[in-house]
Amino acid sequence: MPHLHLEYTANLPQLNADVALIRLNNTLVGSGQFAAEFDIKSRATKVETFKVGTAMAERAFVYVKLALLSGRSAEIKKQLSQSLLAVLQDLCEWPAGLEVQLCVELVDIERESYSKTAIGV
């Protein structure tokens, strides 16, 4: 725990997903909110088919969803969200003339129903 999902549009070729994930993971480790670095599981998905709004102009987005066990205060969640957003803002040189929306969403996973085990430890 936690699970980080990164989605980004295919019209952002300068975004290096591997670099993005390690930077986001390091930010989570640095928050002090998680017991061990190996508890953080992240993945990236390049979105090939997408639409942002209704305008014909080309647009893009990068979206992070962080799912974490319930019980953290709204203040801690806001700090996590803002720190992840800061990482997104500094990931790469964003293309001139392209509107890019950066978004972070935190969602709670119920502790009572979440199960986990590790194999081969």
Instruction: Report how far apart, in Å, the C-alpha atoms of 115 and of each of 26, 34, 77, 110, 112 are.
Output: 24, 16, 22, 10, 8
Distance CA 116, CA 85 (A): 28
More confident residue, 77 or 119: 77
- The model's pLDDT over 67-117, given as tens digits with 9 standing for 90+, comes to 999 999 999 999 999 999 999 999 998 999 999 999 999 999 998 898 988
> Is pLDDT of 121 > 70?
no
Coil, strand or helix at 19: helix
Q: What one-character DSSP code corresponds to residue 106?
A: E
Position 48 scores a pLDDT of 97
Angle at 34 between CA 115 and CA 85, to 5 degrees: 110
- Residue 63 pLDDT greater than 80, yes or no: yes
pTM: 0.92
